[in-house]
Every structure is written in C-alpha cells, then in structure tokens.
Amino acid sequence: MVMIEVKDIHKSFGKVKALNGVSCTIQKGEVVVIIGPSGSGKSTFLRCLNHLEKIDHGTIIIDRIPLTDSKTHIHKVREEIGMVFQQFNLFPHLSVLRNITLAQIKVRKRSSEEAEQIARNLLDKVGIPEKADNYPFQLSGGQQQRVAIARALAMQPKIMLFDEPTSALDPEMIGEVLDVMKNLAREGMTMVVVSHEMGFAKEVADRVIFMDEGKIVEEGTPDQLFNNPREERTRVFLSKVLK
C-alpha cells in the first residue's frame, strides 16, 4: 500500500531553487533515509511532506489524500504525520507530560486521563518515565529529543518524519535516540529520516535516497547505495562522509 506519493515537486526560496522536480513513492511500513550534502534540499523535501513548506508545483498524496487540493484540511493530514526536529522544539513553558498531552487533548480531543496514560506509556517506551514532571530545560539533549519523539507518537500518526534528529546532540547521546528510532522502525512505522547517521541507514533503512541540488540523484537499498553507487556524485559524497 502506498503511503506517500510525490510527483515532480518544485520549491524555490526567492531565487534559490530548493527542490527541482522530485518524485518518489513510499510504501506503508517502509523506512527511507535521505542523505545528501547540506543545501541539497533534503530537509525542504521533508518539510513539504507535512506542508510546513508550500510547494510551488507538483503533487503530494499522503495516504490517498492530496495535500495540494484546496479542499484538503491540512490540520487533519498533519495529525497523521508526526515530525521530529533537529532542535527538538519542545514547548519550553510546559512540563514534559503536558508537552505530550497538549495536542492529544486539544487536537485529538482525548480526555486528559486518557492522554496522560498514553503519555506515560510512551515515556516508558523512550526510557525516561521519571521525567514526566520536569521541564524541557532540565533535560539533556538526548532526553529532550526522546520526549519530542514521544510527543509525536502520542498522536498515533501513520507516518513519522525525522529532520536530522541527532545532528544537534552530543555524541554520547546519539545512541539513545537512534535506539528509540530503531525500535519504531521494527514495529512497522512508516518513517522518512533525513540523517547523516550512515550506520543507522545501513542497519534499518529499507531504502536510501541520495539528494543533491534539489533532485534525487540515486536511490536503492543501503547495500546497493553504499557499496555499489551508480552515480559519480553519490560516490564523491559517500567518500567524504564514510572515511
């Protein structure tokens, strides 16, 4: 079953062309890792998938709902797409628990008891049940990112987007976040991950996409892409990051 279908999308910021005709299809349960040099458009691509960036033209269909259709209620589609950001973006004025229950209560219209139960279960799952009543600034980066993952998962989304989730973390905290993501992948979540973690890509990705200059240059299984890249640009990039 197709979960995400992207056809020939274009996006410019002023004169800079961030996406220059990107098409791809992602199946339900697939884990796709997008790699590429900075400025290659990979984050922009991810942000287009939940309409944080509005595409200039092309089509995006999420779970059979066209994003670009004016009749589509974008908030409704976003409820089904969780997103995790490089800078965590937890709400600093709310406790960890409240960070995770807020959208459940206000958007999903769950009772606060139910929302809290779900939040506590998820905190268990990401390994920090004891931090429920803390505030984000009292947590380490790795802990904050795990709360951010729990917050997104609490909406029970069909798709999870990760925008360089470990890039702002100290090296010793990267593992704890990747472990949570690996578990999620094993449970069958549809995931699109922009990341520089080649180890993660090799271990859990079903497919790796290499982007450069706003286009998909090459895609394939991790084995194909890392061991036998077809394109020269892919080879050059990999030789820089895999040394």
Partner 1 sequence: MMFDFDVIAKNLPYLLSGVKFTLALACLVIVIGTFLGIVLGLSKLSKNRILRYPANFIVELTRDTPIIMQMFFIFFGLPALGIRLKTFPSAALAMSFFAAGNTAEIVRGAISSLPAGQFDAAKSLGMNYFQMMIYVIIPQALRRMMPPMMGLFTTLIKDTSLAAIIGAFELTRAGQEVIERTFRSLEIYLVVAAIYFIICYPLSYYTRKVEKARVTGY
Residues 158-177: x/- map of binding to partner 1 (CB under 8 A)? ---x----------------
CB of 26 to partner 1, least distance (A): 18
Q: Which of 205, 192, 199, 210 lies closest to 242, judged by CA?
A: 199
CB of 228 to partner 1, least distance (A): 36
Q: Which of 53, 67, 47 lies closest to 162, judged by CA?
A: 47
Nearer to partner 1, 99 or 195 (CB): 99
Nearer to partner 1, 54 or 230 (CB): 54
Question: Under rule CB under 8 A, which residues in 25-44 are in contact with partner 1?
Answer: none
Nearer to partner 1, 126 or 217 (CB): 126
Reduced to 3 states (helix: H, G, I; strand: E, B; else coil), residue 164 is coil
Output the six-digit token pair for 243.
């040394």
CB of 46 to partner 1, least distance (A): 11
Judged by CB under 8 A, does residue 152 bind partner 1? yes
> Do the beta carbons of residue 178 and residue 146 sit within 8 Å?
no
Task: Label residue 81 exposed, middle or buried (CB < 10 Å: 0-12, 13-18, 19+).
Answer: buried
CB of 151 to partner 1, least distance (A): 7
Cα separation of 186 and 226, whole Å? 22
Output the six-digit token pair for 142.
């790795």
Element (H, E) at 234: helix 232-241
Judged by CB under 8 A, does residue 181 bind partner 1? no
Judged by CB under 8 A, does residue 183 bind partner 1? no
CB of 197 to partner 1, least distance (A): 21
Q: Which of 189, 194, 155, 191 lies closest to 75, judged by CA?
A: 155
Task: Label residue 149 exposed, middle or buried (CB < 10 Å: 0-12, 13-18, 19+).
Answer: buried
**Among residues 15, 64, 71, 75, which is the contact residue for partner 1, using CB under 8 A?**
75
Largest CA distance in the chain: 55
Judged by CB under 8 A, does residue 93 bind partner 1? yes
Instruction: Please identify, among the stretches 10-18, 46-54, 63-71, 112-120, the one whose residues bind partner 1 according to the rule CB under 8 A.
Output: 46-54
Element (H, E) at 217: strand 215-220
Sites of contact with partner 1 (CB under 8 A) = 47, 50, 52, 75-76, 78-79, 81-83, 85, 87-93, 102-103, 106-108, 135-137, 148, 151-152, 155, 161
